[in-house]
Structure 1
Amino acid sequence: MRATFWLGRIAGVRVGVHWSVAVIFAVIALGLGAERLPDAYPGRGALGYTLLALLAGLLFWASLLVHELAHALVARRSGVPVDEITLWLLGGATRTRREAPDPGSEFRIAAAGPATSLGLGVLFTALTWLLVAADAGPLVEVAAWLAVINFLLALFNAFPAAPLDGGRVLRAALWRRSGDRPRATAQTSTAGQAFGWLLVVVGLVVFLWTGAFGAVWLALVGWFVAGAAALEGQASRTRQLLAGVPVRESMTPGPATVPADETVGGLLSETGPALDHPALPVVGRDGTPVGLVTREMLRNVPVEKHRTLTVAEIMVPLDEVRTTPPDGDLAELLPSIDPGPEHRVLVIDRNGRPDGGNGRAPRLLGIVSPSDVNRTISRLTGGHRQPAG
């Protein structure tokens, strides 16, 4: 799930929002602003109900963000790098660069989210009682709704089925018992698909029986859970297939590059690689890799800035780009390879040519994209293996 826009960084983690978040705000505004609040506290005015409903929506998404930040912070403490968090229609997603290294880390990372939501539920419950004592009117209903929604979020995520947090807790337990992570993933994936389709059936039956809109939402969540669980199982099988394959066998060697000091206008006016590739490594004057720029980034620059803005000013800096040595395990890259061109992986030899001093400058050897990985999978499933390129 790619973010539509970015909010910035919180605790060092980049946070983005997908456009589908607007759907949730509309649902909350309708459910709270047009029904629940007027029924509980009539005669307060439509504008007041709407503003309170929007406040509830913002606090709901803030709760989801705190839930995901708990995952991210525990992951980083466990040695798992975190790239970003994206909030979208059905919640949030924390994107890491690799999986947990051991069952204990997997358990702590997974359990952090539901535990945080449970804590927020307790916090909003206490706030509800304080607002009742202060006779705060409709604010009581907002706080009570947030308490219930956080308790439900903790309960739902704790269900032992992939891709939910409870499924990852179960996988950690099965992994610890058997020592076989792929097998544990397959088991939780099966449980997740069964749970997801159960929600779909229950949601559709309840909707046909009662006409309740919330039942459609339940079916939609179930459909997502079943699909995500199936994808998780497929990803596990792919990692097994690619385990032990060095990155150099999959990368596109000698990729086209662009100089960091080139202007955007100068680059776009060329007939070379700028318009032929969705993502390009950026190099300094000595050929050392310094970042990554995408075609979309270049084209989003206003025309009036084409002559003055350089590639270095709009690129993703190297410390935010996924990099790997040529002998790295391709399977370890899979969690960080997404379809977006900004998620290309640069293959860098950190012990490259002499840098003129006592050290050695890193040297760009290649780039890895989803199509490179798919090509490697096709070779392996075809029964033979050969170097890429």
Structure 2
Amino acid sequence: MRIGVNWSVLVILALLTLGLAEGRLPEAHPGDPGWLYWAVGLVTAAAFLLSLLAHEISHALVARRHGVDADSITLWLLGGVARLRSEAPDPRAELRIAGSGPLVSLLLGAVFAGLAALIRATAGPGLAAEAVAWLAGINILLALFNVLPAAPLDGGRLLRAAVWRRTGDPVRATVVASAAGRVLGWSLVALGLYLVLLGAGFGGIWLVLIGWFLVAAATVEGGQARLRELLSGVSVREAMSPDPVTAPASATVEDFLESPAFRYRHSAFPVVGDDGAPAGLVTLHDARAVPAAARATTRLAEVMLPLEEIPTAAPGDPLAPLLPALQAAPARRALVMEDGRLAGILSSSDISRITAWLTSGTPWGTRV
């Protein structure tokens, strides 16, 4: 599982450090040197980012316990996100995966609160106690905000689990949660703009930013749910590109890049072993990243994505459940295998093509 940090994390680190060093810390304990406020503010802001990371790791760990692999965790401007390679298998698993993050944040809040009380009891009030108390409050606030019943928050996942359990329809549950997310998002945008008009400044702008993010993310989730509903009843065989051009794992990168057989508009090709069995997937980007001097001696087996990192399916599998894994895959492609042999490849272009066909009203039998 990869852990990444988006550049925007520097923005939130700077904003939190500024708010603590120029606001809360000197207001609570005036008279200390300015550099000390900044040092304590920076350490406290960094500790909060680690708290966000713990929140997301808890999602990933619980997801793995329920058979859902986590592809990566990324921290960014508005928090963090654990990217899961598939959906929860049932409402109970969804409930546990979603609830783990707020629970960890709540526990961290309690731990920091206890630590702040201990520091005050042993060393008296000071910057250290104030910083730890701030960490307690912000983690508890994070937990409470995240359980609001609106996608893409954890509370939206909890709402989805409840609707899924009641209706037995995960797609309908996602639509309900995403609609709630848009309502909450627009409400925060309106509240933020109102606060800006009242002169709240930064606080109002921050609410507008969070609200806009919720609206955008909830809209995406709703669109994905409608796409899965549209594709229900469609099999992988009906969407895949059959008999794709393959590259041998023993071929060199130089041969791969120069061979006319691979000068297609495609940007990725399945890789097969000497026995013809699928071994992985190679992208033109990864092949071209090999230094020119090493291409003649570097085999595709060394630069390909191994089979275990690529979603796989059988031709008769339903298409809709494969979409989350396809979207989370490094190359946005899945290999279709039948009896251990490559039967086809599935890409986002294939999904777009069959989606356009389904929405065109063209009769099923006239598909080309």
1:158 matched to 2:147? The reply is yes
Q: CA deviation at 1:198?
A: 0.2
Q: CA deviation at 1:70?
A: 1.5
What secondary structure is seen at the aligned counterpart in 1 of 2:209?
Answer: helix
| Partner of residue 310, structure 2 | 321
| Partner of residue 349, structure 2 | 371
Instruction: Pick from 47, 53, 57 the counterpart of residue 45 of structure 2.
Output: 57
1:101 matched to 2:89? The reply is yes
Instruction: Pick from 110, 116, 119 the counterpart of residue 104 of structure 2.
Output: 116
Distance 1:148 1:112 in 2: 19
Q: CA deviation at 1:118?
A: 0.6
Distance 1:261 1:51 in 2: 55
Is the contact made by 1:322 and 1:343 (CA closer than 8 Å) also made in structure 2? no
Opposite residue 289 of structure 2, the aligned amino acid is N
**What CA deviation, in whole Å up to 9, does each residue of 1:233-255 have, x standing for no partner?**
22212111111211011111222
Instruction: Pick from 57, 72, 76 the counterpart of residue 69 of structure 1.
Output: 57
Moved more, 241-250 or 334-343: 334-343
**What CA deviation, in whole Å up to 9, does each residue of 1:248-291 have, x standing for no partner?**
11111222332323333443344542674322222222222212
1:219 matched to 2:169? The reply is no
**What CA deviation, in whole Å up to 9, does each residue of 1:335-380 have, x standing for no partner?**
122287623111122x1xxxxxxxxxx2112211111111111111
- Structure 2 CA distance for partners of 1:38 and 1:272, relative to 1, 3 Å: farther
What secondary structure is seen at the aligned counterpart in 1 of 2:274?
Answer: coil
Is the contact made by 2:310 and 2:329 (CA closer than 8 Å) also made in structure 1? no
- Aligned-CA RMSD value: 2.5
Opposite residue 299 of structure 1, the aligned amino acid is R
Opposite residue 69 of structure 1, the aligned amino acid is I
**What CA deviation, in whole Å up to 9, does each residue of 1:62-93 have, x standing for no partner?**
21221112222222222323322222221222
Distance 2:125 2:263 in 1: 59
Q: CA deviation at 1:215?
A: 1.6
Distance 2:186 2:61 in 1: 32
Instruction: Pick from 104, 125, 134 the counterpart of residue 145 of structure 1.
Output: 134
What secondary structure is seen at the aligned counterpart in 2 of 1:130?
Answer: helix
| Partner of residue 284, structure 2 | 295
Distance 2:328 2:367 in 1: 19
Moved more, 147-156 or 127-136: 127-136
Distance 2:297 2:42 in 1: 42
What secondary structure is seen at the aligned counterpart in 2 of 1:23?
Answer: helix
Kindly tell me the number of residue pairs found equivalent between the two proteins: 366
Opposite residue 382 of structure 1, the aligned amino acid is S
1:37 matched to 2:15? The reply is no
Matches within 5 A, 1:237-248: 237-248=226-237
Distance 1:62 1:116 in 2: 12
Structure 1 portions without partners, runs of 5+: 1-12, 352-361
1:130 matched to 2:121? The reply is no
1:259 matched to 2:248? The reply is yes
Is the contact made by 2:186 and 2:212 (CA closer than 8 Å) also made in structure 1? yes
What secondary structure is seen at the aligned counterpart in 1 of 2:162?
Answer: helix
Opposite residue 364 of structure 2, the aligned amino acid is R
The sequence identity of aligned pairs, in percent, is 51
1:231 matched to 2:220? The reply is yes
Is the contact made by 2:84 and 2:328 (CA closer than 8 Å) also made in structure 1? no
- Structure 2 CA distance for partners of 1:310 and 1:31, relative to 1, 3 Å: farther
Distance 2:350 2:8 in 1: 30
Distance 2:274 2:231 in 1: 36
Is the contact made by 2:85 and 2:328 (CA closer than 8 Å) also made in structure 1? no
| Partner of residue 364, structure 2 | 385
TM-score normalized by the length of structure 1: 0.86
Distance 1:255 1:49 in 2: 61
What secondary structure is seen at the aligned counterpart in 1 of 2:270?
Answer: strand
